[in-house]
Structure 1
Amino acid sequence: MPAKRRLVWNNFKNWDAKKATCKHCSSQISYNGGSVGNLKRHMNQTQPSPQSEHLSQRESQQPVITNYISKQPTTKKVDKINHQLVKMKAKGHHALRLVEEPEMVKLASMVSQCGGYKLPARKTLSQNLIPKVYNDLESEIRSQLQDTFAVCLTNDGWTPSTNISYIAVTAHFIDKNTTLCSALLCCKELDCSHTGENLCGFLKEVTANWGISNKVAAIVTDNAANSLSAVRLGEWRSIGCFAHLLNLIVQKAITEITAVVDKVKNIVVYFNRSSQALKQLKDFQVQMQLPILKLKQSVPTRWNSTYDMLARIIEVKDAVMSTIAILRPDLIIATIEWCLFMTSLRKFLLKKM
């Protein structure tokens, strides 16, 4: 029985004086007098197993040994690939999180196992590949919707800086494996007036297009009058968006501390627009041994953003006040106002809880 002194033996098992079995494809390879020439040749080329000879009429191509072995790249090659990755991210202005995106990680793994793969041209990607994947997914979703018993819809509209109105409709349902699924049915421009009648007509068009007109159990919308009217006209069950309702409640409560919120917001806006102020704020944070934190600005449609803005300025209060005392004294919040601010904030937090 041979001694396992050469690396090639790591790929074989059940060896005797004449033969050894490949761990990767179960082929039995002959060798003479301890010579490993046959074993090495087997590792470097295609070798049919004895069992596969009986299937030669059905299988014209045997598996290649490289299908079973993952060769580790050299350090030099890894460094070269990493260098190219950094260049791609820098020149293409890609986000750092790209390397953590699950689909990107999967793509890199698939490409690493397909040495002859070449990226498609932009035209091929936009005109052939994307439409094909879209059609495949659409067929899959239609099949799932056909099999499901009931569907709930959520819809919302918004107008970006381009001043073009869009509306999206998403379906939520339980598939045959009792898994909760969600699928975006449409996201398109809505150039007509956003009346209840027009929104109702749009929703009916979408449900008819996907063949779920008789399966809609409920529709979740914001609490705007036109959205509620659209659901009522379509004779669907209406469910108000809880997050939207909560935002309306909290925004109403915030009116009690409007004066304080406005002063804090003015300070935050100033720091967001002045690079000099930001640098000075950072220097003061370092000197005062405070955490180096940026200020947060509230967003009207997100009630918790107001809390985040107020909580953050409290964390860096001393550094902020020192900075604006030098650069913008008119923005200073007096000590008595800070006391009122803290009292108001406590009341606000109690209501929020």
Structure 2
Amino acid sequence: MTTARQKTIDEELAKMIACDFQPFSVVDDKGFRRFIHALNPMYAIPSRKTVSQGIIPGLYDRERATLQERVKKATAVCLTTDSWTSRTTTSYLSVTCHFVESYKMVSCLLDCFEFSDRHTSDNLAEELLKVAKEWGVENKVVCCVSDNAANITKAIKTLKWTHHPCLAHTINLFVRDALKVMKPTVNKVKTIVEFIHRSTTATHKLKSTQLQMGMPELKLKQDCVTRWNSTFHMIKRILESKDAVISTLAVMNASVDPLSQEEWEVLQEACTVLEPFEQVTVEISADSYVTASKMLILCKGVQRVTAEHQTRVTTGKVTELVAALYASMDRKFHRIEYNPILSESTVLNPRFKKLAFHDNRAVDEALQRVTAAAARSGQPTSLSAVT
């Protein structure tokens, strides 16, 4: 086999390991080596050390250089940043860049690194600026999206970048808060799910009961305290398996509090109320198209649907849930039409234009800003072009 051919296959092997999250030790696995030998007996599989210390670092450097050139050509970018702590209590900070290339949105991770310093606004601002300068985008940032934490918000404003709070995170905060009115019922569901997950006997019994009842064989889902929609999915799944769950707990004489008929009704109504919030969360979490121009109409839509639920729900706890959700949205969204980023992107979206607005003054101000920006760029635009 020629050296060039060997190198090409080595790189494809490295890409496979990276794309499929395979361990470097895969090159030492007997089955893998037999498979490769069957495909090409002439190919010499590189050692684990060669892959980890030679091939992949070289491939990374080339891919990074190519991506850096693409980012440099972008005239404007949007950044998203987030920090979190792993299970081993190690803190990380990530920065992702979004830009338009050939009329398509491109998203790329600029950096993800261990961040052991105190998460003060100054330290965060320093790290964000360092990453932006490394990629040459510090003067191209039109908006930086983050969660609602005060430290990262202040850090972005310190850099004089336009900050926008993540709508998915905002929804997560107020829906989680509203769900507190149902805490006893939700906790009962958690206990039932945890009991069935811990017990192999209960898991097997639930499966067999589902089959006997002609129901889909569905596993119950556990929730995550940091994601409100995981609670929604947990509730939705237990409702889909309601009869099988009731039967399983009764047959096993499980030492958990069963849900009353009223609580089942509360869960069913709550699911109906929360469904639009889940749909909005999924819609705005897209990574292949821009979502800013949809936010006004989505926020107004979910407010309207929630208002309609105020006259539809019949159970007391869900009435409290709806009231809490509506009050939170009224506080969070009452000035959203005046947000420059959202209002300008909305009026420029040919599908929406003025339709997402209730306040004519907000529309007029957005149109004037768009027209002024177009004039500064040397491309005069009349208001009629976007109305």
TM band (smaller chain): 0.5 to 0.7
Letter in 2 for 1:281: L
**Residues 143 and 278 (structure 1), Cα distance of their counterparts in 2 relative to 1, 3 Å cut:** same
Question: CA separation in 1, counterparts of 2:166 and 2:274?
Answer: 23
Is the CA contact 2:223–2:230 (under 8 Å) kept in the aligned structure 1?
A: yes
Is the CA contact 1:277–1:327 (under 8 Å) kept in the aligned structure 2?
A: no
**Residues 184 and 344 (structure 1), Cα distance of their counterparts in 2 relative to 1, 3 Å cut:** closer
Question: CA separation in 2, counterparts of 1:337 and 1:182?
Answer: 43
Shift of 1:346: 4.2
Q: Which residue pairs with 1:27 in the alignment?
A: none
Shift of 1:196: 1.0
Kindly indicate whether residue 133 of structure 2 is the aligned counterpart of residue 133 of structure 1.
no
Letter in 1 for 2:124: L
Q: Which residue pairs with 1:52 in the alignment?
A: none
Question: CA separation in 2, counterparts of 1:348 and 1:134?
Answer: 43
Q: Which residue pairs with 2:128 in the alignment?
A: 203
How big is each residue's C-alpha offset from its partner over 1:13-59, in whole Å with a ceiling of 9 and x where there is no partner?
A: xxxxxxxxxxxxxxxxxxxxxxxxxxxxxxxxxxxxxxxxxxxxxxx
Q: Which residue pairs with 2:256 in the alignment?
A: 330
Is the CA contact 2:223–2:231 (under 8 Å) kept in the aligned structure 1?
A: yes
Q: Which residue pairs with 2:74 in the alignment?
A: 148
Question: CA separation in 2, counterparts of 1:155 and 1:345?
Answer: 31
Letter in 1 for 2:249: I
Q: Which residue pairs with 1:24 in the alignment?
A: none
Equivalent of residue 188 in structure 2, options 258, 263, 276 = 263
Question: CA separation in 2, counterparts of 1:342 and 1:268?
Answer: 17
TM-score of the two chains, using structure 1 as the length reference: 0.64
What is the aligned residue count?
247
Larger Rg: 1
Q: Which residue pairs with 2:158 in the alignment?
A: 233
Q: Which residue pairs with 2:97 in the alignment?
A: 171
Letter in 1 for 2:253: L
Letter in 1 for 2:85: T
Question: CA separation in 1, counterparts of 2:257 and 2:158?
Answer: 51
Letter in 1 for 2:211: V
Is the CA contact 1:299–1:306 (under 8 Å) kept in the aligned structure 2?
A: yes
Is the CA contact 1:155–1:169 (under 8 Å) kept in the aligned structure 2?
A: yes
Kindly indicate whether residue 116 of structure 2 is the aligned counterpart of residue 116 of structure 1.
no
SS of corresponding position for 2:75? coil
Shift of 1:168: 0.8
Is the CA contact 2:82–2:146 (under 8 Å) kept in the aligned structure 1?
A: yes
Kindly indicate whether residue 128 of structure 2 is the aligned counterpart of residue 218 of structure 1.
no
Question: CA separation in 1, counterparts of 2:209 and 2:232?
Answer: 24
Shift of 1:310: 1.2
**Residues 264 and 170 (structure 1), Cα distance of their counterparts in 2 relative to 1, 3 Å cut:** same
Kindly indicate whether residue 170 of structure 2 is the aligned counterpart of residue 245 of structure 1.
yes
SS of corresponding position for 2:118? coil
Shift of 1:348: 4.4
How big is each residue's C-alpha offset from its partner over 1:183-225, in whole Å with a ceiling of 9 and x where there is no partner?
A: 2111110001111111001101111222222222211111111
Is the CA contact 1:254–1:348 (under 8 Å) kept in the aligned structure 2?
A: no
Is the CA contact 1:185–1:206 (under 8 Å) kept in the aligned structure 2?
A: yes
Question: CA separation in 1, counterparts of 2:126 and 2:49?
Answer: 36
Letter in 2 for 1:272: H
After the TM superposition, which of the residue ranges 268-277 and 144-153 deviates more from structure 2?
A: 144-153
Is the CA contact 1:171–1:183 (under 8 Å) kept in the aligned structure 2?
A: yes
After the TM superposition, which of the residue ranges 296-305 and 226-235 deviates more from structure 2?
A: 296-305
How big is each residue's C-alpha offset from its partner over 1:274-305, in whole Å with a ceiling of 9 and x where there is no partner?
A: 11110111122222222211101122332222
Comparing both structures, which one devotes a greater share of its residues to helix?
A: 2
SS of corresponding position for 2:256? helix
Letter in 2 for 1:155: T
Kindly indicate whether residue 120 of structure 2 is the aligned counterpart of residue 189 of structure 1.
no
Question: CA separation in 2, counterparts of 1:141 and 1:350?
Answer: 37
**Residues 291 and 230 (structure 1), Cα distance of their counterparts in 2 relative to 1, 3 Å cut:** same
Q: Which residue pairs with 1:299 in the alignment?
A: 224
Letter in 2 for 1:252: D
How big is each residue's C-alpha offset from its partner over 1:216-238, in whole Å with a ceiling of 9 and x where there is no partner?
A: 22111111111111101111110
After the TM superposition, which of the residue ranges 312-321 and 178-187 deviates more from structure 2?
A: 178-187
Kindly indicate whether residue 247 of structure 2 is the aligned counterpart of residue 311 of structure 1.
no
Question: CA separation in 1, counterparts of 2:59 and 2:115?
Answer: 25
Question: CA separation in 2, counterparts of 1:253 and 1:277?
Answer: 32
Question: CA separation in 2, counterparts of 1:261 and 1:137?
Answer: 47
Shift of 1:309: 1.2
Shift of 1:347: 4.5
SS of corresponding position for 2:116? coil
Question: CA separation in 2, counterparts of 1:218 and 1:276?
Answer: 53
Note the residue ranges of structure 2 that are not aligned, 5 or more in a row: 1-21, 27-34, 278-301, 306-387
Question: CA separation in 1, counterparts of 2:230 and 2:56?
Answer: 37
Question: CA separation in 1, counterparts of 2:103 and 2:261?
Answer: 59
Shift of 1:147: 2.0
Is the CA contact 2:192–2:256 (under 8 Å) kept in the aligned structure 1?
A: no
Is the CA contact 1:151–1:216 (under 8 Å) kept in the aligned structure 2?
A: yes
Question: CA separation in 2, counterparts of 1:269 and 1:300?
Answer: 14
What's the Cα RMSD here?
2.7
Q: Which residue pairs with 1:42 in the alignment?
A: none
Q: Which residue pairs with 1:162 in the alignment?
A: 88
